Structure 1
């Protein structure tokens, strides 16, 4: 993959092929190790190490920011925090996932169509309909967990309504890998999540310094 990097970038950037065509030609690019390697070739930044370390650093402060704004935003952010407060196991991991899930809401964007959850008894092809770019979490269909925390069966990355990577270890890792694929495949950020992805790029991964006013305000709040 290192030896074919120049050829691959020329094809992907110049021809902008469908993701299915890239998978047929460069299947290895859709494995976790190679997503990270390709991101490093493009940016010289270690993807998951940098992203997860930054998330560790900022997640507690992000939750505090969400609490300070939850009364001023829609109930979705408050519901997210209420669920987090009920968690009694794996709290640190759940805090990081909550920080990421709440980021679009805090930045006054909507993640509908980007973050989806379905039962393991649901047809996957139906669940991914309309998902041009996103993360699908498949949970156990168990009536005993309806009023508690459902068991996650798998986490998958979706591009152009198809699964491009499955069985990812955690939601934060999935978010990092999806961001890496955006760079590897030369994709645009979703228009309805432009500030969220700008924050990931410039705050979490330190790629670029000039921020929009909305992301700069977030950055300033995290540094207090």
Structure 2
């Protein structure tokens, strides 16, 4: 590992600085390629493995994936109301400063509304934007959580543990009853 990567990792783990400070000190970390690289360094797993099937299939499944990702927290008993944030593209006064972690969807004024852009919010700051799909945004956010040594978003613990333990096969494999039930249902 390069010296700057070691210093960054040490700073993240020991000091647990706010995301804004990390953006100022290590701006390259907030690019897609660096999120993937840092996740691999931390977890010894490829985050691309999750995105591979997403990127190789037709876009007509994007709507279905978005619905599944937004319904997964409901199925697992998580509260995603402060995590999946939707605003109108004409709403210029939305305040993100109170959002610790979230995925932002900017919606058009069309009927029905369409997503005009997707972004990731960390500690009240937009850290990555112009993300093509919700699946990719959630994957990148998971990578950032690992890279920045952050806790899972409040209210979304089961969803992120599902991603960690079932989709990525990382960490202890002891599952809560909710996660074990979902895993069993998926394997049928």
Q: Is the 8 A contact 1:55 1:204 kept in 2?
A: no
Structure 1: stretches of 5+ with no match in the other structure: 57-88
132, 135, 152: which is aligned to 2:100? 132
Query: d(CA) in 2 for partners of 1:219 and 1:53?
Result: 21
3-state SS of the aligned residue for 1:123?
A: coil
Partner of 2:44: 44
Offset, 1:191: 3.0
3-state SS of the aligned residue for 1:186?
A: coil
Partner of 2:80: 111
Query: d(CA) in 2 for partners of 1:54 and 1:199?
Result: 18
Q: Is the 8 A contact 1:54 1:204 kept in 2?
A: no
* Largest Rg, 1 or 2: 1
1:101 aligns with 2:64: no
Q: Is the 8 A contact 1:113 1:130 kept in 2?
A: no
Partner of 1:156: 119
- In structure 2, the CA distance between the partners of 1:9 and 1:181, relative to structure 1 (3 Å rule), is same
Offset, 1:175: 0.4
Q: Is the 8 A contact 1:157 1:163 kept in 2?
A: yes
Provide Cα deviations, 1:151-200, integer angstroms capped at 9, x if missing partner. 22110100111101110111100000001000011100123111111001
- In structure 2, the CA distance between the partners of 1:140 and 1:184, relative to structure 1 (3 Å rule), is same
Say which structure is richer in helix: 1
Offset, 1:7: 1.1
- 1:3-152 counterparts in 2 under 5 A? 3-47=3-47, 49-53=48-52, 90-123=59-92, 126-142=94-110, 145=111, 148=112, 150-152=113-115
Partner of 2:170: 207
1:218 aligns with 2:182: yes
Query: d(CA) in 2 for partners of 1:166 and 1:44?
Result: 26
Query: d(CA) in 1 for partners of 2:30 and 2:181?
Result: 34
TM-score by length of 2: 0.91
Partner of 1:171: 134
Aligned length: 185
3-state SS of the aligned residue for 1:131?
A: coil
Offset, 1:91: 3.8
Instruction: Report the RMSD for the aligned CA atoms in angstroms.
Output: 2.0
Structure 2: stretches of 5+ with no match in the other structure: none
- In structure 2, the CA distance between the partners of 1:179 and 1:131, relative to structure 1 (3 Å rule), is same
Offset, 1:130: 2.3
Structure 1 moving runs of 4+ over 6 Å: none
